[in-house]
Structure 1
Amino acid sequence: MSTADRLVADEQAVRMYVDVRLGKNLDQRPTEYLLLGDDQGFLELEEAPAAPQSTDADIRVSGRVIFDTWAENAEGAIYVVLYPVPEERLAAFDAWFEEEHTPTLLGYVGWLRTRLIATDEGAVTRVAVHYLANPAAMESDERTLSVRTPRTDDVLEGAWASDIREFVALSGK
């Protein structure tokens, strides 16, 4: 599949909602992913035309999927990155993500699928949702190389890059 085939046309765009619930002793819902690492809580993804009914999210971002490498049976672990990319840098960021960052990640056999969401509002302007066979993909050489591409330093330059948030979670299914 070529890069052009991975772009999602506006009329075909899927709306996604990403909810993050942080805290201890939370009851896991069957559709959620259990956060790993220092974060305790759950992450939930939903494709829907309207916002989910739940209102207990600590972080909720929503938007339309603008890039998708689509893969069948992409379950196991999930890696979500919240990017507060400034408006004037969005075009350069999107091009880097699509042309350099994602192809490098997909070079690892356990990196199954990547989606990029253009958010509707708020400080977070892009959300990357990566589907992994297991959390070991986070330690791969490809992940390290994906942020050492020719344009990485230019694209991720600025104070905003220190506000990037990352979450890794295991499937609750």
Structure 2
Amino acid sequence: MNGAAIDDKLLQVGIGQLKVAGRSGHLQAVLGSCIGIGFIWEKGGRCGLAHCLLPEPRDACEAASCQMQASARYVSQAVPSLLRLMGAREADYPDITVVLAGGASMFSSKRLCVGQDNAAAARKYLGECGLSVRYCELGGKYGRQLVIDCAHHSYSIKEITPSRQDTLHAHH
């Protein structure tokens, strides 16, 4: 982010949130097993980022209440909500660059595959909307930082690995 103009806004996108920025904004999410879905719509002058916790609601009642609010708690609701919030119509979808990051295996349990499930759900729901992923960095054991730069219509993904000091403390 060095060298960014003073009027550039850095919007942190927390778990379950989705945010949209205009031509000078930056959107950032720090992801573990959560998945970040980034949309860069150069022609529309907007970018969006959803920070999704889980693939989809567990039951119909929860799903119905989710559809009433613009949230990114679930991948299933984040994709259409983000498109609506950005003001994109189906005819605009081919012009939207999609970036995925996150989905790490943060838990040692073989039964907890949240990261993999989130990644599969993202591909499913993006595909249902006819959106294709331009770039993705998914899986692994470490978190990632995803930054969308709306001014330059670009993105960066940085892996967050524990420092040597963190590793030493973890073994005590």
User: TM-score, structure 2 length as denominator?
Assistant: 0.29
Bigger relative CO (Cα 8 Å, ≥ 6 apart): 1
User: TM-score, structure 1 length as denominator?
Assistant: 0.29
